[in-house]
Amino acid sequence: MNTLFVRVARFGAVLALVVVMLGAWVRLHDAGLGCPDWPGCYGRLVVPDQSTSLQELGPQGAVRALDEAKAWREMIHRYLAGGLVLVTVALAAIAWRNRKDPAQPRRRPVALVGLIVFQALLGMWTVTLLLKPLIVVAHLFGGLATLALLASLGRWRTTRASAPTPALRTLGLAAAAALVLQIFLGGWTSSNYAALACPDFPTCQTQWWPALADYKDGFVLWRGLGQSYEGGVLDHPARVAIHFTHRLGALVAFVLIVLLGWRLARDAATRADGLTVLGLVLLQVSLGVSIVVFGVPLAVAVAHNGAAALLLLAVINANQRIRQR
């Protein structure tokens, strides 16, 4: 494969990881609506000064008062996401130029451009639909899918595992499915502001199974249009249900991923992959517990998001290695 293509893909993967973590940083700062319009900020490509008058801010200034710090956080995220768009377009151009090379991927670079365009639309809808949780979670998944595609194009590890069994392949799929579901639950917890609904650990509301949890209200995916979700709209019992379900999902995902890592670590050909999976899942659980125990420290919460992305890459890579011919 073309060396330039691989290097650009690897740079893009690192940039995508930064963008994913920066998105979490923006969300945790409650800056998702720091700019009430899209793609600019109060109609500009650069954040206005705090002293800018309401007339100069235009109609957006009447909708939302300017908070310069939050607006800059949001725009920095958009600037880097724009850089990611350029990377994907460059990859598609390089792939087209080298289309006669049999080793050059053709479909994935094109799919990546389509994905990044859709991801940009999700970013717009995140703002225009006022942080609707389902759109926020979809935006998170779009970022992770972009990261996974770029990582696959970067060809980090390609050696096949030795004699993978059908049971190992099934375990790999189960671990990946559990992790994807857990990432959804994590995004749902964050977008509904339920991270501290259970402030104690390992119990929740001092109970092993919280009686006040409202699962029916907690998992309504669509609540109509025109409502702002900044700060959350759910009652406390619904947030408890979301948080507790996230903990249950973490337990299932942890068991399956540890089994996968342990099984891979037993084989010399995949020992590094297994140890990576085990190390990342232990790190992720430790960060998750720390978020509850220490009351959502910003750095820990952002690291939790980043570790989830890295763990997803590790599990996807493990599945590729035990399935390739």
Which residues are CB-neighbours of 208 under 8 A, at least 6 positions away? none
Residues in the chain: 325
Rounded Cα gap, residues 90 and 96, in angstroms: 10
Q: Choose, from 56, 68, 74, 230, the residue flagged as catalytic.
A: 74
Could you give the 3-state DSSP secondary structure of residue 44?
strand
Rounded Cα gap, residues 311 and 276, in angstroms: 8
Q: How far is CA 186 from CA 20, 58, 89, 107, 207, in A?
A: 14, 36, 31, 31, 21
Catalytic, 230? Answer: no
User: Is 264 within 8 Å of 161 (Cβ atoms)?
Assistant: yes
User: Is 128 within 8 Å of 226 (Cβ atoms)?
Assistant: no
Rounded Cα gap, residues 189 and 186, in angstroms: 5
Could you give the 3-state DSSP secondary structure of residue 140?
helix
Q: How far is CA 98 from CA 90, 94, 108, 114, 237, in A?
A: 12, 6, 14, 20, 56
Q: Classify residue 226 by burial, with Cβ atoms within 10 Å: 0-12, 13-18, 19+.
A: exposed
Rounded Cα gap, residues 45 and 181, in angstroms: 36
Residues serving a catalytic function are 74
